[in-house]
Structure 1
Amino acid sequence: MKILLVEDSATLRYAMRNYIIEAGHTPLIAQSGEEALQMLETTPVDMIIMDVEMPGLNGFETTRLIREWLGGHWIPIIFVTGRNEDESYREGIEAGGDDYLIKPVSAMIIKAKIRAMERITEMRDQLNQLNAELEALSQLDSLTQTYNRRTFNEMAQQQWLLAARQQNPISVLMIDVDHFKLYNDHYGHPAGDSCLKKITQAIRDCLNRPFDLLGRYGGEEFIVLLPETDSLGALRVADLINAEMEKIGLRHEVSPTRQHVTVSIGGASCGQTMSYSLEELIKRADRALYKAKHSGRNRSLVDDIAIHKTILVVEQDTLATKTLIQMLTPQYNILYTETAEEALDICIDIHPEAIILDASIADENDERLCRQLARNPKTNNIPIVLISDDSCSLRPISDMTIGIRGCLEKPVDKDALLQKIQFLIN
């Protein structure tokens, strides 16, 4: 250990210096409290032996300043004094001392005190190491050793703020393992765990920068944050991940998509973070993931949230759905479904900016979908445009309480639809 000896007496300095060397440690010498403080600014030490009675700053005053300067970092401080009154002990402990030596000091006693403090220091270091290991474990997913969801969100928020300050683009990728439940059911959970570990490594192999973040966001869902990356860069990374999954070729005999494990990837990029939030970026990546999964899986889709907002079309007629998508696609991201149940799930998970709802679906079970959306705090502010084969201009005003903010008659006029949607989401 490096032991700082603070002593104004040349005779005692010489003797105690030799005691420290004989104990197998390295002495550093200061002749006053002021000199000790200056030395500590540039030289780390493991222990301090401090004379109490010194001119200028005495040992108690010097120790108070040392403890204040070191903050949470503890090193043992042993006082050396000719006073043995109770009041002196009390003052020394309150000043931050850990032990006392009474002059004259014998070699045997000082060596024993140093050894005792050395053991305490070793225990402190072991405890600090264990705490650091526990902290690291608390940040990681136990299976994949990637960041868990909480830690990923915390670190991603720091990168988001940095991107805002530097006005850099930033992207998120949401990665979902295709048909993972079928894989688990067929091969068993141990094989499923092994599969997730291999997928984790495949994703890591496609992230080449130290500030790219990877986390496990759910059971078979991963998330990647790509600072300083626009939508084209994010798509390149996503395509690399898909290609890597093809390369490693994990067998998946019961997959309806391919005979090996594949992933669907949805991404979102933002070039102007001041206008958005990290939560919205992740939400948009989730929407893109939904589209990738429902357009065949084993693919990548990346949207730019500075350009697109999302509309959900709930329509049973396939031709009508295609027509609405053609009308809206140049300006909006489009999600679509034929059922009220799936529409509710999409609204809770994805939160579209507006819903275009077929009146026949809305009327099922006394407008159950509208009422469920209105009761849920996550969805009660999503505006609904009702479309119907019959004129719905006379629907009661009370419909405002269940989210319906407008009605259009089929066949829907494109200009009227775009004008209505733009008004509602802006």
Structure 2
Amino acid sequence: MRTTRAGGTVAALSALALLAACSTDSSLDDPAVTESAEDDAAAEEGGDEGDAGGEEESSDEWFVQADYDTQDEQRSATFEGDPEQPYLQYIDGEMTDTSEFASEGAKKVCFANASISNPWRQTGWITMNEQLGVLQESGVISEMETRDAQDDDNTQIADIDYFIAEGNCDAFVISPNSTAAITPAVERACDTGKPVVVFDRGVETDCPTTFIHPIGGYAWGIDTAEFLSENLSEGDKVVALRILPGVDVLENRWAAAERIFEENGIEAVDFFTGADPAEIKSILSDELATGEVQGVWMDAGDGAVAAIEAFEDAGQDYPVMTGEDEMSFLRKWEDTGLTGLAPVYSNFQWRTPLLATEMIFAGEEVPTEWVLPQVPITEEERGDFLAANEGMPDGHYAKFGGEDLPGYPQVWQDRVIP
């Protein structure tokens, strides 16, 4: 049984605003949904949108040197586990003893989701539900009751408190809408004594049983800014298109990138776009009207195609660009021949929380901080990922990691949103 709150997870796709998760990108092949997208993103990602299109201030408050250094090292780390199952890989580190949660019988999982308001999150949600079906058939999970906060902190706080008051959750799974605001509610879930699995975006507490995420925003920022700096010259201009403020992984992406641009003498200006293709085109049109733009940096793939089209509309040479592993960017990248990189905020992470609950219900150890692989797609690899995902809609993410699940490829091709 899969239960959702009316008006939440099963809301019509045409009503979804394509804001951003922990990374993400473009459309759903639904004419009612505009092409855009995060993570993704990471995309998708929570918080207030701020002034879309407004140039942003310094990211110093989001920069922690020690975390930057750790994630920089983790980019070349050795991951435990089978590379054919990247959603179960992790960097060796502290483990959490879950023997107290071991018991027989199927269990109920309560999932407080930030949203499925963009293609990155929608792709992950499809994958998560396919994984759920497998665990229901095997008798691990009886049902997953889901409440969708629709990108609103207050709604998600109420959702978590509802689950706590309901009193019949055997485990909590939480994908936070934003970082600081959701922390107290996560702590209240921990206080119930039930296992708490947090994934995608972080919170400011170490109480969860496990926190699951790809390497992180600093790694994304390092990968992308180094790529742009290597392919540009000192004094060149980069326009940075950001989704939303106030989400750790997104802020960390820009905090890392901003410093690398400064170190390499790259002129970088950043704007919040809300992942709105029209806003992205407007920003780039204005910037191109005042001079040349040699590079485009995105903290998610949302609107990557719109960014490229802005250069086409202006009759300008294509920029050096970083997008994401969303299919519309990969296809446009190949069609144009521009110099690009597709960083990822590994979409396959949506499988991991439910697989973690399976381990927890069995009393197995789980990584306290479960760090998943996060490897960008290069030009040399792009063709392989395009071929592997042939037939998938533009809003699909190449590294979704669901190829061995029962509904593959049909449910992702048809964009079946549970």
- Is this a same-fold pair by TM over 0.5? no
Instruction: Pick the structure with more strand per residue.
Output: 1
**TM-score normalised by the shorter chain: which range applies?**
under 0.3
Q: Which of the pair has more CA radius of gyration?
A: 1
Higher relative CO (CA 8 A, sep ≥ 6), structure 1 or 2?
Answer: 2
